[in-house]
Amino acid sequence: MVMQYARNIYPLRRRWLKVSMAAAVIGMSGMVTSGDVHADEWPTQPVKIVLAIGPGSSGDTLARLLGPKLSEIWKQPVIVENRPGAGGVIGTEHVVNARDGYTLLLGTQSSILPKFTQRNLRFDPLTDLVPVRKVLNYQLVIATNEATARKAGTLKALVALSKESGEGVFFSGTGPTSIFNLSFSILNQQLDMKYSPVDFSNINEMNMAVIRGDTQVVVNNPASLKGYFDNGAVVPLAAISPDRYPNLSEVPTLKEAVGYEGYIPLLWAGFFVPKNTPPSIVDRINRDVETVLADKAFRKQVETTLTGSVPQSSPERFVKEIQEEVDIWKQLFQTINLKQG
C-alpha cells in the first residue's frame, strides 16, 4: 500500500502545480514597493536573522557561519536571534509580524507545515512569508544509543525489540509538528515500530535524552550527533536517503536496512522575509547569499560542518519547491490521519 502510494506521489515532485505560482503571486502582491529603501542603499542598519529553534542546533550553526560573511558584504552587523517554541511557530510568527525590512527568517519545513498541523494559526506561512533562497539540504539519520544498540544493532532489530514490551521504545522529538517527529511518523507507516514520542524544547535536550537512554531512537542531522557517533554513545542505524552518505558509508540506507520504498523526507534550511519586503530587497538578499555560497572554500566548510549540500536556488525556484513539497505533505498527513492540534 505504501509502495503504491509512493509511486503515486513521486510524479508530484517533477511537476509544478498552478497553486505554486498562485502562492508566489499572493506573497509578492502583499509587498510594500513604494517609499522604501532601494536595494543599492539597503541595508542602512543591522540585519537580524531569526531562527525558530534554540542555540546549538545545526540551523543555529548555519546562521552563525553565514552571518559574518553577509556582514562583510552588507557593511552592517548581522545578528542571530533564537526564538524557539511551539514547533517553530513562535519564531516564524515573529518574522511574519516584522515590518522593519531588516528581519530575515532562516527556516525549515517547520516554518511552513504548521499551516496544516496547528489550529488557530495567526498567520499563513504560504502567503505571509516570501521565500528568498534555499541554503542547505541536510543529511538525516535514524539513530539509537549504545545500550540499545547492544540489544538491537540494526534498524530491523530495533523494530523487533520495540514490539517485545508493552510500552515499546521512546522517540526523542521536538514536538508533534516538528520536521523530526513528522518525518518519523511518515517513515513509520512502513517501519511499523512500536514507539511513543517524548518531546523536548530544543535539539540539544532531544539528543541528550537518547544519549542518557531516556529515549531509544532519534531522527537528526549527523552534524548534531557526530561527536557521539565518534565515541560510540550514539549509533546510526539508517540513512534517510536513497543513497548512502559518503561520510557515513558504513550506514545502510532505509531500503537496505528494512526494504523501505516510501517517501523519503528531506530536511532543508532557507531564507524567508515578511511579505511586506520590497522585491528589490528580496533579490538583493538572494544575490548576496548566492555570492557567499559561491566561495568554494566556504561552501565546503558549510557542507562538511553541517553534513549537507548547498543546492542551486532562487526566489522563484524556492517558491515552486515549497509548494510541490506542501502538496506531498498534505497527502501524507491524510495517510497518517494527522489531526490539527
pLDDT in tens, 276-285: 899 999 999 9
Distance CA 68, CA 262 (A): 40
Closest CA to 307 of 81, 184, 141: 141
The percentage of residues in the chain with a pLDDT greater than 90, rounded to a whole number, is: 74
- More reliable by pLDDT, 287 or 339: 287
- pLDDT value for 108: 94
Residue 30 has pLDDT above 90, yes or no: no
- pLDDT value for 33: 38
Residue 24 has pLDDT above 50, yes or no: no
pLDDT tens digit string along 208-228?
Answer: 999 999 999 999 999 999 899
Average pLDDT, integer, range 63-83:
97
Cell numbers representing residue 232 in the block: 560510540
Distance CA 335, CA 329 (A): 10
DSSP 253: B
- pLDDT value for 78: 98
Cβ(267)–Cβ(140) below 8 Å: yes
Among 101-115, 255-269, 323-337, the least confident range: 323-337
SS3 213: coil
Domain with CATH 3.40.190.150 in the chain: 2-138+268-335
Distance CA 164, CA 143 (A): 19
Closest CA to 295 of 103, 61, 72, 43: 72
Burial track 172-201 (b if 16+ CB lie within 10 A, e otherwise): bbbbbbbbbbbbbbbbebbbebbbebebbe
Amino acid letter at 310?
V
Domain with CATH 3.40.190.10 in the chain: 141-258
- pLDDT value for 38: 67
CA 327 to chain centre: 16
If pLDDT is split at 50, 70 and 90, which confidence band does 37 have? low
Distance CA 272, CA 94 (A): 12
Residue 203 sits at the vertex; the CA angle it makes with 199 and 209, to the nearest 5 degrees, is 60
If pLDDT is split at 50, 70 and 90, which confidence band does 36 have? low
- More reliable by pLDDT, 287 or 11: 287
Q: What's the mean per-residue pLDDT of the chain?
A: 88
Cell numbers representing residue 212 in the block: 542518557
pLDDT tens digit string along 156-187?
Answer: 999 999 999 888 999 999 888 788 999 999 99
Whose cell is 541554503? That residue is 135
Residue 9 has pLDDT above 60, yes or no: no
Residue 25 has pLDDT above 90, yes or no: no
Cβ-based neighbours of 143, under 8 Å, separated by 6 or more: 210, 217, 218, 219, 220, 225, 229, 234, 235, 236, 237
197 sits in which H/E element: strand 195-199
- pLDDT value for 57: 86
The phi, psi pair for 14, rounded to 5°, reads -115, 10
Q: Out of 3.40.190.10, 3.30.460.10, 3.30.465.10, 3.30.1340.30, select the CATH number for domain 141-258.
A: 3.40.190.10
Give the CA count within 13 Å in the CB-facing half-sphere of 69: 19
Distance CA 336, CA 128 (A): 27
- pLDDT value for 119: 85
Residue 341 has pLDDT above 90, yes or no: no
Q: Classify domain 2-138+268-335 by CATH number.
A: 3.40.190.150
Amino acid letter at 238?
A
Peptide bond into 77 cis (omega under 30): no
Closest CA to 197 of 212, 213, 211, 184: 184
How far the first Cα of the chain sits from its last, in Å, is: 27
Residue 72 has pLDDT above 50, yes or no: yes
If pLDDT is split at 50, 70 and 90, which confidence band does 23 have? very low
How large is the greatest C-alpha to C-alpha distance in the chain, in angstroms?
66
Across the chain, how many H-helices and E-strands are there? Answer: 16, 11
Among 20-29, 86-95, 139-148, 268-277, the least confident range: 20-29
Q: pTM score, two decimals?
A: 0.85
